């Protein structure tokens, strides 16, 4: 069975990764169409030996489309996803537009694949930071309930979009050449600097990115009482997010138990070589789908043996976005 | 009263900062001598309008020296600090050689200045990550005991020494020029990457840097039961460390109480503008002595009101090393 696939936001960082991931995974495509704003219409990309031309997205773009992969921002999803669903497509939406809506599945295939079948035409792909954390934490949570998490992130610039990568590279080149550094879209200089995540602060003092991780994780884990505090930080890294995660379990948990569980967990790769000081790094996580996990150790600030620290790194454009959405699409066509 | 000062390790990152900080603070110097290894002997530096020549450190270097500021590595301190003390100098040692030794004061002047008078010729300057965290946390701890801390760090390359900065810059220049990136002293590429702190992992699974922060903080706070877990990470930033800090207090604590206390705390500057998304950043902390504190908010993962999150940034070469040592020296000559 082959299906017709539409990519909405085809020229963005995630849109481009959709092309790579669909090809790599030999997704059974009958016809692939690429959609973007009028500004990007006419751009051409190669896929499976054919040249595809990006067209301007309209509400009529979805005739005969079976699966529409949306990644063009929340407002575009809000405006056009209903049209896609009306036309008979199933939308896998990579924006935050529908994630917290009741009745819309929010899916990480390694965590809650059973939710996929409950869709009414629309499935939401979680935030990248949420996905990268839930893949390794879920199998631990199943074995021994996680009562509370304290997370600090190290987020790559391309998480903000292709422009984030461009801005970091432009600033690094200016710095290397001894020229003045210009800031464009990020609120602060990013080369040689880091800053609190560039999303607005909500009334509870957390920024939007942090509240997304908290709320989405509760929905994905079906655990509305999951306690999470998180600090999201943008760092001068091109690609792949890292997260320093402190876990409090319901019962005692040892590093050996964690390693045993994670060594068998789907989507996880242990990188935890203490002798060689080799742990998860963005440079090694970039371009792969597994979430790297290391620095697994007993939290010595607790004397009840219920604390574990770990450090993870995952490619936020692949597993944090494109791969996760394509995995959902794969399960849609099998089911 | 003017005193004779010796700087041991004068050509290093901290050694050079000693020259800047002593001049800026108009430290009352009668005679300043600079010491380093044979390799660096002969190098010349300006200080207060005079040209000083670096000489090779020997055990006879400390005749007539009143205060010796050591920052040339632990093994040099272990070998030469006793000679300095024997010659009548008071040593302020910036290495880890003596920090945890009983009877040797470990001092952050904003926290435990009373310990300075208890010295027997030697006072230890804490680890930079310890200093930057203890300056803002101490006044909170005094008001409402901190029972537990969960810390994740974002540490600048110059914390490893002047070579760390050189290695980052060389790699960034190679990257900007499209040339291959060479690794020299860091265990992994640092440009466009980050990694778990480059110190060996101890038997408890924490690295040396993490264990230093845990043990030193307990000594400085005179609170051997202080519970701390910490993950130390090296990031591609030239200068100034950041720390994401989650605090659990004995009694309920509000963000307003924290702001009120920190607005009056010595060595602290609040940078906490939610509307402008302006919080502590290494770019703004670099070159100043205050520790910047922001992202102050109630930890919503606790329902007992006893949790606070904050994010800090401090110049690890100034307040984290040179300035802290010179502050100690100032208190020595006043007392």
Model pTM score: 0.97
A300 C-beta neighbours (distance < 10 Å), count: 18
Q: How many CA atoms lie within 13 A of A75 on its CB side?
A: 1
pLDDT, mean of residues B24-49: 97
Asked if B170 reaches chain A (Cβ–Cβ under 8 Å), the answer is no
pLDDT above 90 for A103: yes
Q: Residue A321 has what DSSP assignment?
A: I
SS (H, E, C) chain B: CCEEEEEECCCCHHHHHHHHHHHHCCCCEEEEEEEECHHHCCCEEEECCEEEECEECCCCCCCCCCEEEECCCHHHHHHHHHHHHHCCCEEEECCCCCCCCCCCCECCCCCCHHHHHHCCCEEECCCHHHHHHHHHHHHHHHHCCEEEEEEEEEECHHHHCHHHHHHHHHHHHHHHCCCCCCCCCCCCCCCCCCEECCCCECCCCCEHHHHHHHHHHHHHCCCCCCEEEEECEECCCCCCEEEEEEEEECCCCCHHHHHHHHHCCCCEEECCECCCCECCCHHHHCCCCCEEEEEEEECCCCCCCCEEEEEEEECCCHHHHHHHHHHHHHHHHHC
- Chain B residue with Cα closest to A282: B193
Query: pLDDT confidence of B77, banded at 50, 70, 90?
Result: very high
Sheet containing A122-124: order of strands: A55-56, A29-36, A3-8, A67-70, A90-93, A122-124
Give the C-alpha separation, A25 to A16, whole Å. 15
A296 φ, ψ to 5°? -75, 120
pLDDT of residue A335: 61
pLDDT of residue A263: 98
What is chain A's Cα-based Rg?
Answer: 20
The pLDDT tens digits of the residues spanning A309-319 come to: 999 999 999 99
pLDDT above 90 for A23: yes
Q: Cβ contact (<8 Å) for B194 and A235?
A: yes
Measure Cα distances from B181 to B174, B176, B234 in Å.
Answer: 6, 10, 18
Q: How many CA atoms lie within 13 A of A144 on its CB side?
A: 18
pLDDT of residue B152: 99
A222 C-beta neighbours (distance < 10 Å), count: 10
The pLDDT tens digits of the residues spanning B188-231 come to: 999 999 999 999 999 999 999 999 999 999 999 999 999 999 99
What percent of chain A is modeled with pLDDT above 70?
100
Contacts of B294 in chain A (CB under 8 A): 196
Give the C-alpha separation, B8 to B29, whole Å. 16
> In terms of DSSP bridges, do strands B195-196 and A90-93 run parallel, antiparallel, or are they unpaired?
unpaired
Give the C-alpha separation, A320 to A267, whole Å. 12
Q: Cβ contact (<8 Å) for B302 and A150?
A: no
pLDDT, mean of residues A279-291: 98
Query: pLDDT confidence of A3, banded at 50, 70, 90?
Result: very high
Give the C-alpha separation, B154 to B149, whole Å. 16
Q: Which of residues 198-257 of A touch B (CB under 8 A)?
A: 198, 200-201, 204-207, 214, 227-229, 231, 233, 235-238, 242, 244, 246, 255
Sign of CA dihedral B300, B129, A315, A79: positive
Give the C-alpha separation, A73 to A57, whole Å. 13
Query: pLDDT confidence of B335, banded at 50, 70, 90?
Result: low
Q: Which residues contact B121 (CB under 8 A, 6 or more apart)?
A: B85, B89, B90, B91
The pLDDT tens digits of the residues spanning B143-200 come to: 999 999 999 999 999 999 999 999 999 999 999 999 999 999 999 999 999 999 999 9
Give the C-alpha separation, A220 to A328, whole Å. 14
Give the C-alpha separation, B294 to B236, whole Å. 21
SS (H, E, C) B299-327: CCCCCCCCEEEEEEEECCCHHHHHHHHHH
Q: Cβ contact (<8 Å) for A193 and B244?
A: no
The pLDDT tens digits of the residues spanning B264-278 come to: 999 999 999 999 999
pLDDT above 90 for B46: yes
pLDDT of residue B176: 93
- Mean confidence (pLDDT) of chain B: 97
| Both tokens assigned to A39 | 């500004």
Out of B119, B141, B197, B241, pick the active-site residue: B241
Q: What angle do CA A170, A173, A177 make, to 5 degrees?
A: 140
Number of cross-chain residue pairs from A and B with Cβ atoms under 8 Å apart = 171
| Both tokens assigned to B197 | 């702190």
Q: Cβ contact (<8 Å) for A194 and B242?
A: yes
> In terms of DSSP bridges, do strands A44-47 and A50-53 run parallel, antiparallel, or are they unpaired?
antiparallel
pLDDT, mean of residues B99-111: 98
C-beta separation of A174 from A181 below 8 A: yes
pLDDT of residue B334: 81
Task: Return the H-helix or E-strand segment holding A282.
Answer: helix A282-285
- Chain A residue with Cα closest to B196: A279
Widest distance between CA atoms in chain B: 62
B242 catalytic residue (yes or no) = no
A101 C-beta neighbours (distance < 10 Å), count: 12
- Chain B residue with Cα closest to A294: B196
Asked if A145 reaches chain B (Cβ–Cβ under 8 Å), the answer is no
Q: How many CA atoms lie within 13 A of B131 on its CB side?
A: 33
């Amino acid at each position: 069975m082959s299906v017709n696939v539409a990519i909405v936001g085809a020229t963005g960082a995630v849109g481009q990764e959709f092309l790579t991931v669909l090809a790599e995974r030999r997704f059974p495509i009958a016809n692939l169409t690429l959609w973007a704003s009028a500004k990007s219409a006419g751009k051409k990309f190669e896929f499976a030996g054919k040249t595809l031309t990006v067209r301007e997205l309209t509400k009529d773009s979805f005739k005969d489309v079976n699966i529409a992969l949306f990644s063009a921002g929340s407002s575009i999803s809000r405006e056009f996803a209903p049209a896609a669903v009306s036309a008979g497509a199933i939308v896998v939406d990579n924006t935050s537009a529908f994630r917290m809506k009741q009745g819309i599945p929010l899916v990480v295939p390694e965590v809650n694949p059973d939710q996929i079948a409950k869709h009414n035409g629309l499935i939401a792909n979680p935030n990248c930071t949420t996905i990268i954390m839930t893949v390794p934490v879920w199998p631990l949570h199943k074995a021994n309930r996680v009562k509370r998490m304290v997370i600090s992130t190290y987020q790559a610039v391309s998480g903000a979009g292709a422009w984030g990568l461009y801005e970091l590279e432009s600033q690094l080149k200016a710095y290397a050449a001894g020229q003045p550094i210009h800031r464009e879209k990020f609120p602060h200089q990013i080369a040689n600097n880091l800053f609190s995540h560039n999303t607005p602060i909500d009334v509870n003092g957390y920024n939007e990115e942090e509240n997304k991780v908290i709320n989405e994780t509760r929905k994905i884990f079906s655990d509305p009482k999951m306690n999470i505090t998180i600090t999201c930080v943008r760092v001068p890294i091109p690609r792949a997010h890292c997260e320093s995660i402190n876990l409090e379990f319901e019962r005692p948990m040892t590093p050996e138990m964690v390693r045993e569980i994670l060594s068998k967990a789907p989507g996880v790769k242990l990188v935890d070589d203490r002798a060689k000081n080799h742990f998860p790094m963005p440079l090694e996580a970039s371009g792969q789908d597994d979430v790297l996990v290391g620095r697994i150790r007993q939290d010595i600030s607790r004397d009840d043996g219920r604390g574990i620290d770990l450090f993870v790194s995952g490619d936020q454009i692949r597993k944090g976005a494109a791969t996760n959405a394509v995995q959902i699409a794969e399960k849609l066509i099998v089911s």
